[in-house]
């Protein structure tokens, strides 16, 4: 049987309660600490499956009950925008939701708890490298604002100005 998302060949299945035995594993550690449910769509991935890659290596992954969705690690602040590979910046997302989010901050900014815990108070710089309108190279995020006219999201910064959320890099 070929597993979806990564095209591994099914080798074996283990009880999900064995997951803590793999606390040394970087990716599985996220699920041990943050759960086995996709934080966006809510799908529960409670099947611990071993699969063989084309190079012969065995990989452990979590799948939903029907083996259709694999749980992945999703970045809260995307890597492309300066997000780190730390436990604090990672969350469980199914493969589909992680792909849909890509390097966008829109989902994170629309969830008040994620915004307040991971975005508010962060220092950013413009992707273009030019100073912000207050003449500084960096700015501190206070809030997020959605334009009623364009429906685009903007960060509201200390100093009273706004800037599009997709045009900043987190420091």
Tell me the pLDDT tens digit for each residue of 113-143.
Answer: 989 999 999 999 988 878 888 888 999 999 9
What is the average pLDDT across 56-68?
Answer: 94
* pLDDT for the residue 135: 87
User: What's the whole-number mean pLDDT along residues 91-97?
Assistant: 95
Return the pLDDT at 133.
84
Residue 154 has pLDDT above 90, yes or no: yes
What is the C-alpha to C-alpha distance for residues 167 and 155, in angstroms, rounded to an integer? Answer: 10
CATH code at 107-170:
2.30.30
* Statement: the pTM of the whole predicted model exceeds 0.75: yes
pLDDT at residue number 128: 80
Handedness of CA 111, 117, 118, 124 (dihedral sign): positive
Contacts for 148 with CB less than 8 Å, ≥ 6 apart: none
Average confidence (pLDDT) over 85-100: 94
Tell me, what DSSP letter sits at residue 8? P
Task: Inform me whether the pLDDT recorded for 150 exceeds 90.
Answer: no
pLDDT band at residue 156 using 50, 70 and 90 as cut-offs? very high
The counts of H helices and E strands in the chain are: 4, 10
User: Which segments of the chain belong to CATH 2.30.30?
Assistant: 107-170
Q: Is the pLDDT of residue 31 over 90?
A: yes
Give 32's pLDDT tier (boundaries 50, 70, 90): very high
Q: How far is CA 98 from CA 72, 90, 91, 142, 162, in A?
A: 7, 11, 10, 26, 27
């Amino acid at each position: 049987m070929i597993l979806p998302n990564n095209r591994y060949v099914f080798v074996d299945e283990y009880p999900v309660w064995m997951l803590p035995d793999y606390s040394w594993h970087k990716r599985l550690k996220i699920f041990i600490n943050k759960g086995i449910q996709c934080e966006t769509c809510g799908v529960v991935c409670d099947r611990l499956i071993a699969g063989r890659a084309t190079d012969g290596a065995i990989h452990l992954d979590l799948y939903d009950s029907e083996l259709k969705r694999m749980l992945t690690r999703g970045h809260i602040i995307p890597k492309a925008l300066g997000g780190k590979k730390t436990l604090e910046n990672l969350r469980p997302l199914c493969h589909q939701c992680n792909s849909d989010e890509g390097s966008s901050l829109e989902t994170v900014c629309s969830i008040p708890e994620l915004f307040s815990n991971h975005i508010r108070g962060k220092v950013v710089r413009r992707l273009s490298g030019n100073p912000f309108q207050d003449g500084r190279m960096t700015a501190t995020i206070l809030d997020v604002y959605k334009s009623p006219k364009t429906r685009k999201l903007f960060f509201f910064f200390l100093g009273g100005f706004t800037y599009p959320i997709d045009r900043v890099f987190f420091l």
